[in-house]
Structure formats: structure tokens, C-alpha cells
Structure 1
């Protein structure tokens, strides 16, 4: 009987066999591979959602700015610059109790796929841009922007309204964020102000 007990104790102290270790390692590897794949997929999805969200947020912020300022515009002018580039100028009323105005301009650079803006006082003067390179110092509102249809972002004004329609790319894999709105202008096409003369 003591011989049998010695053999049983010895077999328990031997540990795992090589086959058992290989099977356990294979199962653990499959589990880790699944968890790693899930983490990679989650990271890619999170990056995509972030890119689309940032694109949509930037596009909406730019659209809100343009829409609000155009609604407060006493007068405006839309001109084509350097081929398919566009310049939209507006003399915008302030929000104070006394009448005060500033000049606001938006420049759509078609080849660069950018929308830029600048503001200056009515009493001040600025050189109006003649190409996309002349607005390099202006604030960049949107990058990766293009027209929804055709070649223009700003449609020529009709009946006191102006239509703005553009798309903004978020990345190469997703649909662009589309923005389209019509702003009713307080004023009309004009000249004779210090904003553009």
C-alpha cells in the first residue's frame, strides 16, 4: 500500500505535460487575439466618430457665424475672385444700443478647399483679396470644404436672400458633412461704404 501512495504522490508532483501546456497556451492565445481585435476595432471606431463629430461641429459653427452675421448685414457684396474662388463681404450691424458697424468677409478658396474669414472696422481700410494667397493671414474657418453642387459655396443673392451650401470632409472613409441654409439679409447689394471701396 505504501508503494501505491508513493506513486500517487509522485504523479501529482510531476506538473503539467508538454501537450497540456501547448493546449493551454493555444487557448490563451486565441482569447488574447480576440480581445486585441476587439480593442483595435473599438479604437478605429472611436477615431472615426471623433473625426465625423469634429467635422460636423466645425461646419455647424462656421454656418452659424455666417448665417447670424448675414442676417445682421446692412449691405453685402458677392464677387468671383481668381476663377472659382468667391468673396462675400458684408457691413454688419453691431449688437449695442447705438448703431455701429464692422466689415466682415468670407473667402472661399476652391483649389485649397478652404473657407477663411476676416473682420475689420468700417472706418478702417483693407486691401480686398485677389487670390487665395492674399488671404493666408485670415482666420481659417474650415478646411476640406467644397460646394454641395456646382462650383460655388455662396449662391448669388435673389430677392434679399443668399444661399450658402457646402460640404466638409471628415476623413477619407466617411461621407462629408453637408450644410445648406438661406439667410434673409437686412440690407441689399450695395456700394459706397468703406468696407469695400
Structure 2
């Protein structure tokens, strides 16, 4: 009786070709998984950027809406050279709780929102009680102004206003701006705030 012996002993291990095939398959799996993880990371960053942009836009809109809702007169000043704008409002407050940093705010005061297109676009707010005129800054405002947010810009698309603030009739304020949204399209914000009791602009706020 003849005996046949295997050419490969149990301890001979993998061949070079088998090792190369296994390495190639492992590399393909790693590249595929890495691609999914990178895509998920980009999507997460995009979502965070969009959420932050929308939150900032709502913060600006809420600040203007709350101020204008208590206004008895509004006006807009625009610097045609720099594109800076200031929305002015004569407001009435019943309680110092509206703005504790300003001390007693009961009565008539002045409030302004300042849009500065440089340095990425920023909007600031300032309140003065008792009422006193708020001068429009010639550039970056001083520390008496509070920054609401930056990364904002006037809308420039067709059929849209190229200004942030507009008060066409004195009975409302049109607010239009874009918020930077990372590498994606900017988040567009647009709202109209109606003034409950409009009167003619006059000193000391205007």
C-alpha cells in the first residue's frame, strides 16, 4: 500500500499571496469605513454650523423685534460710503428689569442697533435711559455698545434689499440679512416688525 503525503505541513503558515490578499481586503475595509466616518463628520459640522447661524439670526431678529415692539418712533441712518447702518428707536419702559445694567429704565429712552459691514459683519445694540441721543459710530463702536453677533451681511441677491435695516413708512421695520454658514450657503433671515404707536421722530433720540 502506497502513502501520499501533503506538500504543505500544518505548521507552514500562510503563503505570501494569501497575506497580500488579506492585506488588500483589510485596506479596502479601512478605506470604506474611514470614508463613512469622514462623511458623517462633515455632515455633523455642517449641521452645527447651520444651527449656530440660525440661532444667531434669531437672536438678532428677537433683539430688534423686542425693541421695536416698544417703540414710539423709529428711523434708519445709512452711511452710503461704508455701508454701515444704524436703526434708531424711541422706546418706553415700565421697569428697570428690562435692562438692569442701565439702572432705572422706567420711562422714555433711546435704543439703537448698529450694523458694521467690516470685520465679517457685526450688529451691536445700545440703550440709553433716560432718553439721550445715540450717535452713529464712525467705525468700530466703543464699549458702550453690546455685540449681538458677527458673521452677518446685507443681502445682495436679486430682488432683495442690499441693506440690513429699512423703515420705509415709519410704521414698520424691515430686517434682512444673511448669516455666514461655514462653507455652505448663508442662512437668510428676513422679517418685518410693525410699530404699535408711531409718532413723529423728534429729539432727544433723533
Length-normalised TM-score, structure 2: 0.79
Partners of 2:47 and 2:114 lie apart in 1 by 29
Whether 2:171 is the aligned partner of 1:164: answer no
**Contact 1:77–1:189 (Cα < 8 Å) also in 2:** no
Aligned-pair distance for 1:147?
Answer: 2.1
Aligned-pair distance for 1:126?
Answer: 6.6
> Against the structure 1 CA distance between its residues 182 and 142, is the aligned structure 2 distance closer, same or farther, given a 3 Å change threshold?
same
Which secondary structure does the structure 2 equivalent of 1:132 belong to?
coil
5+ long unaligned stretches in structure 2: 97-104
Q: What's the CA shift string for 1:29-62, capped at 9, x where partnerless?
A: 1000100111111111111111111001110111
Alignment of 1:47-126 (within 5 A): 47-81=45-79, 83=81, 84-94=83-93, 96=95, 100-112=107-119, 113-122=121-130, 125=132
Coordinate RMSD, CA, aligned: 2.7
> Against the structure 1 CA distance between its residues 52 and 37, is the aligned structure 2 distance closer, same or farther, given a 3 Å change threshold?
same
Partner of 1:180: 190
Aligned-pair distance for 1:150?
Answer: 3.8
Partners of 1:184 and 1:34 lie apart in 2 by 54
Alignment length (residue pairs): 189
Which secondary structure does the structure 2 equivalent of 1:11 belong to?
coil
Length-normalised TM-score, structure 1: 0.82
Bigger Cα displacement from structure 2, 32-41 vs 111-120: 111-120
5+ long unaligned stretches in structure 1: none
Q: What's the CA shift string for 1:67-117, capped at 9, x where partnerless?
A: 121011122332123632111121222254995344321011234422221
